[in-house]
Structure 1
Amino acid sequence: MMIMSLTTSLPYPFQILLVFIVSIASISLLGRILSSPTKSKDRYRQLPPGPRGWPILGNLPGLFMTRPRTKYFHLAMKKLNTDIACFNFVGVRVITISSDEIAREAFKERDIDLADRPKLFTLKIIFDNYKSMGVSSYGEQFMKMKKVITTEIMSVKTLNMLVAARTIEADNLLAYVHSMYQRSETVDVRELSRVYGYATTMRMLFGRRHVTQENVFSDDGRLGKAEKHHLEVIFNTLYCLPGFSPADYMDKWFKGWNIDGQEESARVNSNLLRSYNNPIIEERIELWRQKGGKPAVEDWLDTFITLKDQSGNYLVTPDEIKAQCIEFCIAAIDNPANNMEWTLAEMLNNQEILKKALKELDEVVGKDRLVQESDIPNLNYLKACCRETFRIHPSAHYIPTHVAHQDTTLGGYFIPQGSHVHICRPGLGRNPKIWKDPLVYKPERHLQGDGITKEVTLVETEMRFVSFSTGRRGCVGVKVGTTMMVMMLARFLQGFNLKLHQDFGPLSLEEDDALLLMAKPLLLSVEPRLAPNLYPKFHP
């Protein structure tokens, strides 16, 4: 009756579509029940609280009608007054969590139970049949790629090898901003921070800033035409990752239907991304496997290509290298860029915070030299600002989806095998049960531990907010991510006095609902605060 009453109020084409979806969903749900004895027992076990659903479709109509889709979960949990909730999307249980205690339980006590990833068609398209570490199922492929990345790519030895590459881009950041000052140009912080993140990632990954043979650059640090498009495609591919589309829960039945435009967008953008990455990878593989090869390992790509197993066989296949390079591209840029923009906005909103950050830089580094990576351990207040930004202004609503590969429990509730588990970033960082005055930006809250001041890191293992996540599926690039983030902020603050540009208008800390970015990109006017000879020239 519920479905019939709704369909009569909808346009005729949508009535047909809804009836078809219900029919397919019924078949899907029946198949799940028959193939999994666990499902038939769910009603005898206590699932987390959740909103009342429709027959067969469960909560899918509510999700379908809500924009942005993440808002549906927030509103439902607020109405239920719960920090853990269970939603039913055509038989797929979706668990959302905004409790630090339950998040710690998930990633410490139940970590192995929740270490799987969803098998979604968009992920298969982007990452070449789930070959990269981040999206592969918990098993042999995941173990292999994680071992390679943690022991080789992110090793101290390899990261030290790449200090010079990162320093070049830290210098280029200053050269770029200084050239804008000389031309009286507006500094768009979002564009600036994305250029820095992109260029630094390209240097570490491919050993060069350019992605085409033309290598067309201006002499001030701006990206060339191809690099601009490459960066745009990276973000477009990032936005194709699972985002609570109905297709995410009915992928088996609607593969090829392009619901929400997901599949077409994933295919187009990932193919464009490969058109830039793959020629570099293929050329380098051929170079290494020629007689004589390349004289030395100089970047992450070289490292991947040259690794061999105990039998002398190449450890990582070309297809695995290509998939992992895509993952590195889309994972490395948005977090530092988002953190930079929000941190500067909060500093401008509270000038005392800005003064404290500048005072620390002047005391630790001074004005006679540029801040270096070796200074980062001593820049505790600056790192506290980055932590506070992670807490209150995360770069995404949820961490990547975890999937229960066996029945388990969380918070005393039953979590069935196959459940999608989502940790809500704003739900943790802005939770008044975890933080006093959660909407107040206060870096000092991260400076004290057990009554004494200690070195600040950007990692939050207690899951009171999410920086790089933790557990088996936690970010393996914590060190390089911290370095990129702190160096970008430190170099910018050390090098320039800043104020809001007149075109920006009054400072607004309003955020975009869908992406959690600042609703208006932060525009600044800058002036040098160091001696002219300290500003580097651009290094192509």
Structure 2
Amino acid sequence: MGMPSMSQFTVETLLSPTLLFLTFLFFFFLLHPSVQTILTSFKDCRLPPGSTSWTIFGSLLTMLRHKPHFRWILKIAEGKDITCIRLGSTHVIVVNSPELSREFLKKQDANFASRPLTMATEYSGRNFLSVVIAPWGEQWKKMRRVVASEILNTSRLHWQSKLRTEEIDHIVKYIHNQCEKLEEPVINVRLATRYYTGNTIRRMIFGVRHFGEGGEYGGPGKEELEHVDAAFKVLSFIYAFCASDFMPWLRWLDIDGHERNMKEAIRVINKYHDPIIEERMQKWRGEKEKEVKGAKREVEDLLDVFISLKDNKGRPLLTMEEVKAQCQELVFATVDNPSNIAEWSLAELLNRPEILQKAMEELDRVVGKDRLLQESDLPQLPYLRACAREGLRLHPVAPFNLPHVALADATVANYFIPKGSQVLLNRVGLGRNEKVWDDAPRFNPDRHLKNGSTDVGLAEPDLLFISFGTGRRGCMGGSLGSVMTYMLLGRLLQAFDWSLAPGELGVDLSEDNRSLFMARPFHACAKPRLSFLANL
């Protein structure tokens, strides 16, 4: 046997499986976005400071070892104006500074107006059909026009003010029933506040308070409990930093079980929403002959509004999937903030009786004890609004706002922000920033009423903390969220005297490690303080 020629050696070697595989890996990693972004970091502007990362995985493996993941990210970003954490090929930019927040969402808003495609938002928006989670593009523009002009405008909010009043009346009656029938009326405040937000948005969208028969004392039935719990579960996974969002090829592994849990939560939401939407749509779109004869169907709730919208050719504007996606997104956007603010604020007030007394005196002075607080009273209640604002500052419902994605390379504060970066405004870092807020950990509504100003609300356009955001991706439901929050907190304070549960010396204000909610659902004793409540 002779030695192989040079030409034979070269061909056989190049065709060997091992060499072909290594060659593939070389070009794959050379062209992979994670390597490309590393190379771009050698531009004149450097990336913001951050954690040590591996070439391909970034800090993803480190993050996966720390649960919950958001606590690890908060820790890395603590005390820094801006931080860069690379997860897979994605640069996650965490912002704790109001000035830099305004740079991203005001001065350079157009470049940071998109959203990432994530596992959780794929489910929550039915493949990115709804307005809040849709990436920049025609679908987002279409749904934004619909929601802004037809759903959350001033006239539509006024149109549904009566039903909102009925729902806050119902919550007062629910708590009063417990006071009357329980030997020790210790109220589960979290349950009551979430029942209110769930009821209100169900009435607004579907025209129903309950999906079933309701529960004891006029409270939630098993259907309402399941519905609201599923909505909160969906929201928890939207903020969960799923590994496959940063390295999509990991999705089949379902690390941490995020996708399995998300599927189950959405299944519950669909179980309650879809039959109502499908039946209503069939009725609406099957009555064309009646409309011709003059028997046009009346619009009674937001679902009717969605279904009845027409394009410029008289055809239905929204598909069934778009209607379903936007209805469930409205639920997700409404149930959490008002209930969370009311629960935390009432807990803080019980620990600060002098502030509680001040809020009660304002309510008695403006509203009195012969009638219940109405939405029309809210402009005359600056201290109540300041209490809610302070509750939101200190106790945001989620650690970060929804991510803003860079559509192109950018420079912010002399730092290079690569295209595709996800920008997170840190709700905790901004709201509790010692550089911005004097004695930041202290619940102090008076800080929002300096120099006698009474122009106070939940909105924070200067991004000193995060409420409804700003710019193209600012929350369109700010007015609705504010009214629901003020009415819920105001009615709880006006209608009942609150005291600590038996055996407690003070309210434990500890946070749950897995979320920013109170570590335990808040319970307190309630005593009716208005004589006519029994007649509601």
Give the TM-score of the pair, scaled to structure 1: 0.89
Distance 2:34 2:192 in 1: 54
User: Whole-Å Cα distance in 1 between the matches of residues 458 and 25 of structure 2?
Assistant: 43
Q: How does 1:153-164 map to 2 (within 5 A)?
A: 153-164=151-162
Q: Is the 8 A contact 1:171 1:536 kept in 2?
A: no
Once the two structures are TM-superposed, the CA of residue 189 in structure 1 deviates from its matched residue by 0.7
**CA 1:95 to 1:220, structure 2 compared with 1: closer, same or farther past 3 Å?**
same
Question: Which residue matches 1:428?
Answer: 430
Shift in CA distance, 39/313, structure 1 to aligned 2, threshold 3 Å? farther
**Aligned-pair CA distance for 1:219:** 7.0
Output aligned runs, 1:296-307, within 5 Å: 296-307=298-309
More displaced, 232-241 or 320-329? Answer: 232-241
Q: Tell me, what secondary structure is at the counterpart of 1:180? A: helix
CA distance in 2, matches of 1:34, 1:160: 50
Do residues 73 (structure 1) and 73 (structure 2) align?
yes
Q: Does residue 286 in structure 1 map to residue 282 in structure 2?
A: yes
Q: Which runs of 5+ in 1 are unaligned?
A: 1-22
Pair 410,535 (structure 1): closer, same or farther in 2 beyond 3 Å? farther
Alignment of 1:95-494 (within 5 A): 95-184=93-182, 185-211=185-211, 215-218=212-215, 220-251=217-248, 253-291=249-287, 292=290, 295-448=297-450, 451-494=451-494
Shift in alpha-carbon separation, 1:295–1:513, aligned structure 2, 3 A: same
Q: Which residues of 2 match residues 44-55 of structure 1 at below 5 A?
A: 44=43, 45-55=45-55
CA distance in 2, matches of 1:153, 1:25: 51
Secondary structure at the counterpart of residue 525 of structure 2:
strand
Amino acid at match of 1:42: S
* Corresponding position of 1:42: 41
Q: d(CA) in 2 for partners of 1:210 and 1:27?
A: 58
**Aligned amino acid, residue 50 of structure 2:** G
> Would the aligned equivalents of 1:25 and 1:90 in 2 still touch at CA under 8 Å?
no
| Count of residues paired in the alignment | 505
- Shift in Å, 1:50: 1.2
Contact 2:34/2:56 (8 A) holds in 1: no
Separation (CA, whole Å) in 1 of partners of 2:372 and 2:454: 24
Does structure 2 conserve the Cα–Cα contact (< 8 Å) formed by 1:206 and 1:299?
yes
Structure 1 distance, partners of 2:153, 2:439, is 39
| Separation of aligned partners in 2, 1:358 and 1:323 | 41
CA distance in 2, matches of 1:397, 1:330: 16
**How far is 1:51 from its partner?**
1.9
- Seen in structure 2, the aligned counterparts of structure 1 residues 26 and 345 have a Cα distance that, compared at 3 Å, is farther
**TM-aligned CA deviation for residue 438 of structure 1:** 0.6
Cα deviation 1:356-392 (Å, max 9, x = unaligned): 1001101111111111010111111011011111111
**Does the 8 A contact of 2:310 with 2:317 survive in 1?**
yes
CA contact (8 A) 2:111 2:407 kept: yes
Q: Relative to structure 1, is the Cα distance of residues 536 and 413 closer, same or farther in structure 2, using a 3 angstrom cutoff?
A: farther
Q: Assess, with a 3 A threshold, how the Cα gap between structure 1 residues 442 and 27 changes in structure 2: closer, same or farther.
A: farther
Shift of 1:535: 4.2
Q: Secondary structure at the match of 1:472?
A: helix
1:430, distance to aligned residue in structure 2 (A): 0.6
Shift in Å, 1:513:
2.6
Matched residue SS, 1:168: helix
Change in CA separation of 1:218 and 1:514 when aligned onto 2, cut-off 3 Å: closer
Q: Give 1:8's aligned residue.
A: none
Q: CA deviation at 1:95?
A: 0.5
Counterpart secondary structure, 1:193: helix
Question: CA–CA distance in 1 between the matches of 2:256 and 2:216?
Answer: 42
1:3 maps to none
**Does the Cα contact within 8 Å between 1:32 and 1:39 map onto a contact in 2?**
no
Distance 1:165 1:219, change over 3 A: farther
| Structure 1 residues 426 and 219, CA gap change in structure 2 (3 angstroms) | closer
Moved more, 128-137 or 220-229: 220-229
Instruction: Check 1:254–1:489 CA distance in 2 against 1; reply closer, same or farther (3 A cut).
Output: same
Amino acid at match of 2:73: F
Are the aligned partners of 1:51 and 1:76 in contact in 2 as well (CA < 8 Å)? yes
Q: Name the SS for the 2:42 alignment partner.
A: helix
Further displaced range: 192-201 or 406-415: 406-415
3-state SS, counterpart of residue 475 of structure 2:
coil
- CA-to-partner distance for each residue in 1:147-200, whole Å, 9 max, x for gaps? 111111011221111111101101101100100100123201111100000001
Q: Does the 8 Å contact 2:47/2:417 carry over to 1? A: yes
Aligned match of 1:7: none
Give the distance between the partners of 2:24 and 2:404, measured in 1 at CA.
26
Q: What is the CA-CA distance between 1:220 and the residue it aligns to?
A: 3.4
Greater Cα offset, 86-95 or 364-373:
86-95
Deviation at 1:140, TM superposition (A): 0.7
Distance in 1, Cα, partners of 2:75 & 2:24: 28
1:370·1:534 contact (CA, 8 Å) conserved in 2?
Answer: no
- Higher mean alpha-carbon deviation, 242-251 vs 259-268, is at 242-251
Query: What SS does the corresponding residue of 1:336 show, helix, strand or coil?
Result: helix
Which letter does structure 2 place at the counterpart of 1:259?
I
Which shows bigger deviation, 23-32 or 330-339? Answer: 23-32
Q: Please name the residue that 2:515 is paired with.
A: 515
Out of 23-32 and 226-235, give the one that drifted further: 23-32
| Shift of residue 218, structure 1, vs aligned partner | 4.3
Give the drift of 1:74.
2.6
How far apart are residue 536 of structure 1 and its match?
4.8
Contact kept, 8 Å, 1:25 with 1:57, in 2: the verdict is no
Q: CA deviation at 1:507?
A: 1.8
Question: Do the aligned residues in 2 keep the contact of 1:460 with 1:467 (CA within 8 Å)?
Answer: yes
SS at match of 2:94: strand
CA distance in 1, matches of 2:28, 2:129: 27
Q: Please state how far the C-alpha of 1:264 moved relative to its aligned partner.
A: 1.2
**Deviation of 1:27 (Å):** 8.0
The answer to whether the Cα contact below 8 Å between 2:35 and 2:56 also exists between their aligned partners in 1 is: no
Larger Rg over CA atoms = 2
2: distance between equivalents of 1:46 and 1:407?
Answer: 12
Check 1:406–1:29 CA distance in 2 against 1; reply closer, same or farther (3 A cut): farther
